[in-house]
Amino acid sequence: MGLVLKAVCAYVLYVISRAIYNAFFHPLARFPGPKAWSASRIPYLFTLVTGQNSFRIKALHDEYGPVVRVAPNELHINDPRAWNDIYMRKDSEIRPPQWGMRPPGIESYNVISGVGSDHGRFRKALGMAFSEEAVKEYEPTVRSYFNKFTARIDELIAKNKGSAVVDMVKWSNFTTFDIIGELAWSKSYDCLDTGAGHAIMGVLSHFQGVIIAAAITYYPWINNALMAITPRSAFEDLKMIFNDGHERLQNRIKHGPSGHPDVLGHLAEYNKQNPTAKITDDEIEQNVFSCLVAGSECLTTAFSGAFHYLLVYPSKLKRAQEEVRAAFSSEASINATDAAKLEYLNAVIEESLRLCPPLPDMLRRQLPSEAPTTIAGRVIPPNTVVSVSCYSMFRSASHFSSPDTFAPERFLKSADESEKWSPDSPLNHNDMAAFKPWGVGPRECPAQPLARLEMRLFLAVLLYRYDLKVAEGSYLTKWTSQQVFETWQKDPLNVEFSPAVSSSVMAAGVAEGSYLTKWTSQQVFETWQKDPLNVEFSPAVSSSVMAAGVAAP
């Protein structure tokens, strides 16, 4: 027993001495940040596994400045120069080992996990599949699924005699998942047809498990112990995903080219043009899986964010609808080329990506071990892990005026110059060098052209065809009250659709940009501790009283 006690005491002494060294004598000790985070990685990992890391990192930047030490060997940098200094470097491939893992039993890499020549092959192949020219070929297929979406909405409207309430998070996810399935494998997942998600959707979007697994690997002895006792049955969901992908790929190979252009067709063409650098079938499967996640989950976030803020800001919704309805003579005439010319619609998309970046935190990079590196004008010691937080960067008052305000006008080239002189105007200062929602450098999203096409078409079609408001009795969850596990864990967004009757949009009773707190979320100390209730009043124009359109906690 004495030996065990000595061992425990020795370990405790080691932990304490290590924490003191990390906090006060480590090469990163000169960088600002909370001492508890500098001494141990545990506070940082705790915010990760609880879904609060993005918000906590922003709070730390607000308190400590553009460079914050968030772990013994890790810095977060909130400086626009860091984009190029970190992600455009020739040696920017180096990742911390905890964040470069592959699923158990998978030997092949994909465009996300691959490095060096492997990443180069994948990037070149996917560049062909998602080029502007290729994406233009995909437009009829994409549009057919948007038409299927509106057909389902119309069925619900007819059934409910005038309007339908739809969870836009769920149904936009059905739509994007069907689209990427059709474009990738030439075989949809039939979510819109069945009105239910495919079995693999839940597995692919379970990012909390990925975060927890990565956090555990920082402590190898815990990770090894857990892996030793984890039954093989725990990986059945992953096996199901890979088997499904394998079957879809083999079916596509067996039956040849589909009736429309698809990703696999372009990958096959890449292999023909590059016989010495072909992508194997296993690599194709893994790369398509990465496309499934990016093409469904990330786009669902973009759509949900756009509709969320348009509903919170009715005047912005009205302006976007008026622009779309004036630009097209009919719904059938809506196309991606002309939608790309709609200045305000595209500004709505950009502002939605700013406030709701699909990946709030960018990938971590480990600096080379040979010598110090200069990042954003600061000399960083070797082997330091560095990263940029999109959420912190895009919502920083140092880079954007009124950073938490939804103001598409900040992206308009023709914005009224006089507004820029108002200290509180969102147009006063906007450093677009800070805004990189797609990433930069060799890791920039290769499917950006397809994502933009889908966003423009989807928003244009829905804004043209329907009048929208928050469903009666529903509450909009404040966007930043949601957890983040790599991407946003989105609450339901219940939107009431009704056929468009004019180019006007009814203003909500709740003050624009305000959220109505759910009554039962308030505290009770003998009586209710009431939150502010911001109501927008306007002179009555008739004897009828309009129902409020927006309600949110």
Q: Which of 121, 60, 99 is nearest to 391 (CA)?
A: 60
To the nearest 10 degrees (0 to 180), the angle between helices 448-465 and 132-159 is: 30
Taking phi first (over 0 means left), then psi (-120 to 50 degrees means alpha), and beta for anything else, what does residue 478 get? beta
What is the C-alpha to C-alpha distance for residues 511 and 548, in angstroms, rounded to an integer? 10
Q: Which residues of 303-341 are buried (b: 16+ CB within 10 A; e: fewer)?
A: bbbbbbbbbbbbebbbbbbbbbbebbeeeeebebeebee
CA dihedral over 323, 490, 111, 204, signed as positive or negative: negative
Q: Which of 145, 236, 243, 149 is nearest to 188 (CA)?
A: 145
Lookup: tokens for 254: 């067996």
DSSP-assigned letter for residue 129: H
What is the C-alpha to C-alpha distance for residues 296 and 173, in angstroms, rounded to an integer? 6
Lookup: tokens for 447: 């499917």
What's the alpha-carbon Rg for the chain, to the nearest Å? Answer: 25
Burial degree of 278 (CB within 10 A; 0-12, 13-18, 19+): middle
> Which residue shows structure tokens 């499917």?
447
Q: What is the dihedral of CA 482, 240, 110, 269, to 10 degrees?
A: -120
What is the C-alpha to C-alpha distance for residues 319 and 325, in angstroms, rounded to an integer? 10
191 annotated as ligand-binding:
no
Q: How far is CA 165 from the centre of its chain?
A: 25
What is the C-alpha to C-alpha distance for residues 295 and 479, in angstroms, rounded to an integer? 21
Burial degree of 359 (CB within 10 A; 0-12, 13-18, 19+): buried
Q: How far is CA 523 from the centre of its chain?
A: 32
Helix (H, G, I), strand (E, B) or coil at 361: strand
What is the C-alpha to C-alpha distance for residues 287 and 270, in angstroms, rounded to an integer? 14
Residue 66 near residue 78, CB atoms below 8 Å: yes
For residue 77, give the H/E element and its range.
strand 74-77
50 CB-near residues (< 8 Å, 6+ apart): 483
Cα–Cα separations (whole angstroms), residue 494 to 1, 314, 477, 516: 62, 16, 10, 15
What is the C-alpha to C-alpha distance for residues 313 and 408, in angstroms, rounded to an integer? 11
What is the C-alpha to C-alpha distance for residues 438 and 442, in angstroms, rounded to an integer? 11
Q: Provide the annotated binding site.
A: 445
Q: Provide the annotated binding site for heme.
A: 445
